[in-house]
């Protein structure tokens, strides 16, 4: 499940960057949009790791 959610987040970011390259006209706008997408992707991946760790802790408590 962890691998699948990371793959989904990265594929979504890749699609957003490609769409940004198509939509925006100037290179400056494209670079800013790509950096914003990468920033949000990193935050999403970090939150994904934190959420999975919290879920694992609750599962360990339930199994005891």
Rounded CA separation 3/35 (Å): 23
Please report, for the chain, the start and end positions of each structural domain, with discontinuous segments joined by +. 2-63
Q: What is the pLDDT of residue 1?
A: 65
pTM of the model: 0.80
pLDDT tens digit string along 45-56? Answer: 999 999 989 998
Helix (H/G/I), strand (E/B), else coil: 13:
helix
Contacts of 40 (CB under 8 A, 6+ apart): 13
């Amino acid at each position: 499940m962890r691998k699948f959610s990371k793959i989904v987040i990265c594929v979504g970011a890749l699609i957003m960057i490609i769409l940004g390259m198509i939509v925006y006209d100037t290179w400056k706008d494209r670079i800013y949009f790509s950096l914003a997408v990468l920033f949000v992707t990193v935050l999403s991946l970090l939150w994904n790791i934190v959420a999975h760790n919290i879920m694992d802790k609750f599962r360990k408590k339930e199994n005891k």
